[in-house]
Amino acid sequence: MKKRVAAAVACTAALALAGCANNAQGGSNGQAVAGSSVSGEKVTIMVGGLDKQIYLPFMLAKQLGYYDKAGVNVVLIGEGAGVDATTEMMAGKVQGTGGFYDHTIALQASSKYAEAVVSMLQVPGEVELCRSDLKGTVSSPKDWKGRHLGITDVGSSTDFLTQYLGTQNGIDPSQTTRIGVQAGTTFIAAMEHKQIDCGMTTEPTVSKLLSDKAAYIIEDTRTAEGAKKAFGGTYPATSLYMQTSYVEAHKDVVQKLVNAYVATLKWIQSHSAADIADKMPADYYAGVGKPAYVAALNSEKGIYNPTGIMPTDGPKTCLAVLSAFNPAVKGKAIDLTKTYTNQFVQSAQPLS
C-alpha cells in the first residue's frame, strides 16, 4: 500500500517543534529564489528539498555569487521530493532538476531521456531512522514486515532505496506501507505522532531527531563505507540533471551552470562546515539551531563530490539497486552512458 500524508497537516502538527519555513530566500516548496541578476536566458532548476544538506550546493552557488560570475540567470525552486521535480522537468515547466542521479535510469526505462551533467554527492547521505519506542523490536530492515515507512514521496529516490533495503532483507515492498512525509518538520511530526515506524531522511532532520532522543539509526549512508554496506557499491546521489534534448540544444548554458557548480564543490572542499553554514540562509538551520547544523555538516562533509565527475562504478551500482525491486527497470536494456555525461565537468573553466 502506498499512502501520502498531507504536508500541511504534518506541518501544523510540527509548528510547536520547529516551525515551517515560509521564507522565499530559504527555498520553501513552490517558491522561487532568484539565483543571479545577470541578463540572458533564464534557467529554472527545481530541487527536491532545497534546504536539505544533501542539496546544499544549489543554494551555496547563489550565496557565493557563482551564478553571476558564470554568466547564467538561474531561478531555484524548492520541491518536497525529487520525483515531483523530475515530473515538472519532463513536462518542460523547468529546465533542470536537483535530485538523485538514479532518476535518469528510471526515466530511460520508460523511454524518456535525461542526463546528469554534474555529480554533487558521491554517497546518498540518507539515514534510516526508527522511533525510539521500537528499539529492541526493529533492528534492521528484516523487521519491517507490516511496518509504516517514511519516504519523501512515492517514486522518490528514498522510495527506491527503502524498497531495495527491504528486498535485500527478505521483505517484499508489498509487505510494508510507504508514506510520503517529505523531510524536516513534516517528517518529525509523522514520527512523533506514530504515523511512521521508521523512515529515510537526511541532515539536519537526522540530528534533530537524534538529539531529541526520538529516534535511532539502523542504516547510515553518510559515509562511503555505510553506502557500500547498504547498496553494494558507490551510490552517487545528488546531481543536476536535465532533459537530453535540452542539453544538446543549450550546451553553452549547461557549461555555465556546470562551471558554477564545479567552483562551488571546490569551495566546499577548502572551507570548514562553519564557513559553509555562515553562507547559508538563516532559515536553513532555524529548526535545529546553527550549532547543530554545523555539527551535522561537519560529520558528513565527505558526502560532497570534490570534482563533479561521476564515480566510475556509481551508475552500475544504481542500476543494480533499481533492478533488484523495480519491475519497470528489471530486465530492461539500459544504456548507462546516456544517463550522465562528464563532458561539461571536464571542460569547466575557473570563475574569475
Same domain, 166 and 249: no
Same domain, 139 and 265: no
Closest CA to 180 of 328, 22, 322, 7: 7
13-48 burial, b for 16+ CB within 10 Å, e for fewer?
Answer: bbeeebebbeeebbbbbebebebbeeeeeebbbbbb
pLDDT at 38 over 60: yes
Q: Is residue 281 part of a domain?
A: yes
Same domain, 119 and 263: yes
Last residue of a domain, one of 195, 215, 231: 231
Last residue of a domain, one of 231, 251, 283: 231
Give residue-wise pLDDT tens across range 49-58. Answer: 899 999 999 9
Band of the pLDDT at 217, cuts 50, 70, 90? very high
Instruction: Write down the H helix ranges in 212-289.
Output: 224-231, 244-249, 251-269, 273-279
Q: Which of 25-39, 84-98, 214-228 has the lowest mean pLDDT?
A: 25-39
Same domain, 173 and 292: no
Q: How far apart are CA 93 and CA 113, in angstroms?
A: 16
Q: pTM of the entire structure?
A: 0.88
Band of the pLDDT at 83, cuts 50, 70, 90? confident
Same domain, 117 and 244: yes
Contacts of 56 by beta carbon, 8 Å cutoff, 6+ apart: 268, 276, 280, 297, 304
Q: Is residue 8 part of a domain?
A: no
Q: How far apart are CA 40 and CA 57, in angstroms?
A: 22
Same domain, 87 and 157: no
CATH number at residue 190: 3.40.190.10
What average pLDDT does the chain have? Answer: 89
Per the structure, the complete domain to which residue 225 belongs is given by: 127-231
Same domain, 196 and 213: yes
pLDDT at 144 over 90: yes
The per-residue pLDDT for 232 is 93
Same domain, 62 and 115: yes
In sequence order, what are the beta bridge partners of 220?
127
- Specify whether the CB–CB gap between 269 and 2 falls below 8 A: no
Give residue-wise pLDDT tens across range 288-337. Answer: 899 999 999 999 999 999 999 999 999 999 999 999 999 999 999 999 99
Q: Is residue 308 part of a domain?
A: yes
Kindly state the cell numbers that stand for 168: 535485500
The per-residue pLDDT for 17 is 31
Q: Is residue 206 part of a domain?
A: yes
The per-residue pLDDT for 220 is 96
Last residue of a domain, one of 200, 231, 262: 231
Kindly state the cell numbers that stand for 132: 525510539
Same domain, 114 and 45: yes
Question: How many domains in the chain?
Answer: 2
Band of the pLDDT at 27, cuts 50, 70, 90? very low
C-alpha separations of 4 from 18, 19, 22, 185 in Å? 22, 21, 22, 15
The per-residue pLDDT for 35 is 64
Q: Which of 255-269, 283-297, 329-343 has the lowest mean pLDDT?
A: 283-297
Same domain, 218 and 274: no
Same domain, 138 and 117: no
Q: Is residue 13 part of a domain?
A: no
Q: Is residue 92 part of a domain?
A: yes
The per-residue pLDDT for 352 is 76
- Specify whether the CB–CB gap between 182 and 79 falls below 8 A: no
Q: Is residue 295 part of a domain?
A: yes
Same domain, 147 and 220: yes
- Specify whether the CB–CB gap between 39 and 15 falls below 8 A: no
Q: Is residue 15 part of a domain?
A: no
